[in-house]
Chains A and B, each alone.
Chain A
């Protein structure tokens, strides 16, 4: 664990990889540190945002060094099953990249468990990481200017669901009717760090 400075109110904890991030984040959610008001997990780091009127950064640093990360991907945030119509515009391209047919892409995507490692890019956009060996899918050479809400994509080692219409460079393999970000729900984001995800293939047109 490396603790890096981030100004007068925050500390950036750098770790070896996603599993360590998930383990530390899970521990910090289970037993919050005094004076820490927000946590931002990412691919290799967890940002600890403090209330400087309540705590000194040096004390937070000492405390985080004593935290015992939770082992494994126990799934601290429950499980979400997402029904997916696998009719994405890039499904054939991904299949060609892997030298398999599109059905095999669907089998691999539905056949493994996923864990939301962190959110980013947009509110409620969860970066899902697969159990087992990491995936590696290149982004599209040219990002799309408009990706619809609910689009299910792959990029690098991650899979994700676009929470709302936005530009995007991920390879789109399908779409879900489930609203992964809904302001009328609390919490608004379905795919939160630590949540376990299962994708399930459904047939028929999406509404």
Chain B
């Protein structure tokens, strides 16, 4: 029998992700892909997978799956109780289960399998884009997800020594966005002086932040313009939205700043209630 994983429980949200669909912005198609790219890349490296192999992105734990065939698995990102494979691949023999509890810190856990999750790609990628609806359906209990053939590469290092995502206040670097001048120096200072709180209305599209609303120094309509992940867009409420992997390709509200791309992965691990400090 070909190898697969049977999903018994998904937790709040589990999707299939990979590197996404870059290069299609002109068609209105966003990149999508793993929200924490570095954690997903680590999983594939540890397994000896191609960088583009698909894996499972588990939001706030709760995934239960069973191996159909002998597998090699790893988890990265948010460390869930119950995973013996965290940052260190372990064999999961046929019939054995993997049960992820709730992570102590962080939000997204990547479950990689040697050979990759081999569902049908859509426009060159197996990533589920929750905004546009492109890609495979959200993972449901009862799904049997095929596992692809292992690459010729042997699995990589045995163990990656890596700090878990932090639970308290997180500081990231911000750079000017195209409409910084709509908010003036006062707005920039307000953005960077105090920490923001991540709200529960956050998802793969973006983090909605709560705090002291930012004030525009100029009025006017902005024709929609292109954005990439990390954009801090300020809607009329004055409360910024930090766009993540499934953010829209274009937006009609001013982008005051961007989180430096290298720091966006850490933002994808923030949970509702956590504080985010934007350092200018």
Q: Say yes or no for B24: interface residue by CB 8 A criterion.
A: yes
Give Cα A122–Cα B226 distance, bound, in whole angstroms: 13
- Which of A65-73, A130-138, A145-153, A188-196 is the interface stretch? A188-196
Kindly state whether residue B262 has any CB partner on chain A within 8 Å. Answer: yes
Q: Pick the contact of B230 from A5, A7, A12 — CB < 8 Å?
A: A7
Of the residues B132, B178, B262, contact of A123 by C-beta under 8 Å = B132
Q: Please tell me if A120 contacts chain B, counting CB pairs below 8 Å.
A: yes
Q: Is A129 an interface residue (CB 8 A)?
A: no
Chain B residues contacting A119 (CB-CB under 8 Å) are: 26-28, 249
In the complex with contacts A42-B225, A49-B228, A9-B261 CB distance below 8 A? yes
Q: Which of A33-41, A89-97, A106-114 contacts B (4 or more CB under 8 A)?
A: A33-41
Cβ of B25 < 8 Å from any Cβ of A?
yes
The answer, yes or no, to whether A171 is at the interface (CB within 8 Å) is: no
CB <8 Å contact, A121 and B28: yes
CB contact under 8 A between A193 and B228, given known A7-B259, A8-B261, A183-B123: no
Give the size category of B's interface with A. 35 or more
Q: Which residue of A lies closest to B24 (CB)?
A: A38
Contact present for B26 and A192 (CB under 8 Å): yes
In the complex, the answer to whether A6 meets B28 with C-beta atoms within 8 Å is: no
The reply on A84 being an interface residue by CB < 8 A is: no
Task: Kindly list chain A residues whose C-beta atoms are within 8 Å of the C-beta of B226.
Answer: 10, 12, 40-42, 45-47, 49
* Smallest CB separation, B181 vs chain A (Å): 9
Q: Is the CB of A37 within 8 A of B22?
A: yes
- CB within 8 A of A40: which of B123, B250, B257, B261? B250
Nearest CB on A from B187, distance (A): 15
Q: Does chain A have a CB within 8 A of B227?
A: yes
Query: Known contacts being A5-B175, A8-B260, is A39 close to B122, with CB within 8 Å?
Result: no
| Complex Cα gap A10–B262 (Å) | 13
Q: Which residues of chain B are near A37, meaning CB under 8 Å?
A: 22-23
Residues of A within 8 A of B238 (CB): none
Q: Which of B96-145 contact A (CB under 8 A)?
A: 122-123, 132, 134
B120 to chain A, nearest CB (A): 10
B177 within 8 A of A: yes
Partner of B224, one of A5, A43, A183, A192: A43
Decide if A12 touches B27 in the complex (CB within 8 Å).
Answer: no
Contact assessment for B27 and A124 in the assembled complex, using a CB-CB cutoff below 8 Å: yes
Q: How distant is the Cα of A37 from the Cα of B227 in the complex, in angstroms? A: 14
Distance in Å from the Cβ of B205 to the closest Cβ of chain A? 14
Chain B 15-42 interface mask (CB, 8 Å, partner A; 1/0) = 0000000111111110100000000000
Contacting pair A6 B27 (CB below 8 A): no
Q: Give the residues in chain B near A188, CB-CB below 8 Å.
A: 27, 29, 123
Determine the residue in chain B with the shortest Cβ distance to A122: B28
In this assembly, does B223 line the interface, its C-beta being within 8 Å of a C-beta of chain A?
A: yes
**B210-242 near A? 1/0 per residue, CB < 8 Å:** 000000000000011111101100000000000
For B175, list chain A residues within 8 Å (CB): 5, 7-8
Min distance, Cβ B35 to any Cβ of chain A, angstroms: 16
Contacts of B258 in A (CB 8 A): 5-8, 10
Contact of B228 among A25, A47, A121 (CB under 8 A): A47
Q: Are A7 and B223 in contact (CB under 8 A)?
A: no
A120 with B260: in contact, given A7-B230, A39-B26, A40-B25 (CB under 8 Å)? Answer: no
Judge if B65 is at the interface, Cβ distance under 8 Å. Answer: no
Minimal beta-carbon separation of A130 from chain B (angstroms): 17
- With the chains together, A123 CA to B180 CA distance in Å? 28
CB of B255 within 8 Å of the partner chain: yes
B11 at the interface (CB under 8 A from A): no
Query: Least Cβ distance of B232 to chain A in Å?
Result: 9
Report whether A47 and B25 are in contact in the complex, using a CB–CB cutoff of 8 Å.
yes
Residue of B nearest to A40 (CB): B226
Closest to B124 in A: A186
Q: Give chain A residues whose Cβ lies under 8 Å from the Cβ of B230.
A: 7-9
Closest Cβ neighbor of A12 among chain B residues = B178
Q: Is B52 an interface residue (CB 8 A)?
A: no
The 3 closest A-B pairs by CB, nearest first: A7-B258, A47-B226, A40-B226
Having A45-B178, A118-B26, A123-B132, one finds 6 other A-B pairs with CB under 8 Å, namely A10-B258, A38-B24, A47-B25, A49-B25, A121-B28, A124-B28
